[in-house]
Amino acid sequence: MQVEAFSELLAKYQDYDMSPAAEPVEKVMARFEQPWTTYFFIEAEGEDVGAVRVVDKKDGSRKRISPLWIMKEYRGKGYAQEAIKAVEAIYGQDNWCLDTILQEEGNLHLYEKMGYIRTGRTEKINDRMDIVFFEKD
């Protein structure tokens, strides 16, 4: 699911070092085993339509959403918003962070709509893509 969901972004930005679509399965499985990581499937219409990973080290550091994805055929239906609301209901609404691709306006709109604020930090990945960082208090 992860590879399929991020494959278009990988093709568009050619970010083979950090794209979830380019991750070896061993790296994904290693995250499943981290005690501070929880994955949630996003279910709708009787299907798994996406997933979200929450990192919560329970040490006072910011909780992190990384990654969150919705399968292409289910995008634009509010499922990502509902997933964010659901994890915030479980983990609390404050002290979060995440990052996304600066050039993906839809992602920026989603996170800003959900109350996440740009930190001012960006990181150039390549000539096509930058990463922008968000926080929510």
Hey, where are the domains in the chain?
2-136
> The domain 2-136: what is its CATH number?
3.40.630.30
58 three-state secondary structure: coil
CA-based nearest residue to 54, from 41, 70, 32, 37? 37
Is 108 within 8 Å of 86 (Cβ atoms)? no
Is 51 within 8 Å of 59 (Cβ atoms)? no
Residues 6+ apart with CB under 8 A from 112: 118
Q: What is the pLDDT along the chain (137 residues), one digit of tens a residue?
A: 999 999 999 999 999 988 999 999 899 889 989 999 999 999 998 999 999 999 999 999 999 999 999 999 999 999 999 999 999 999 999 999 999 999 999 999 999 999 999 999 999 999 999 999 999 99
- Residue 65 is inside which H or E element, if any? strand 63-70
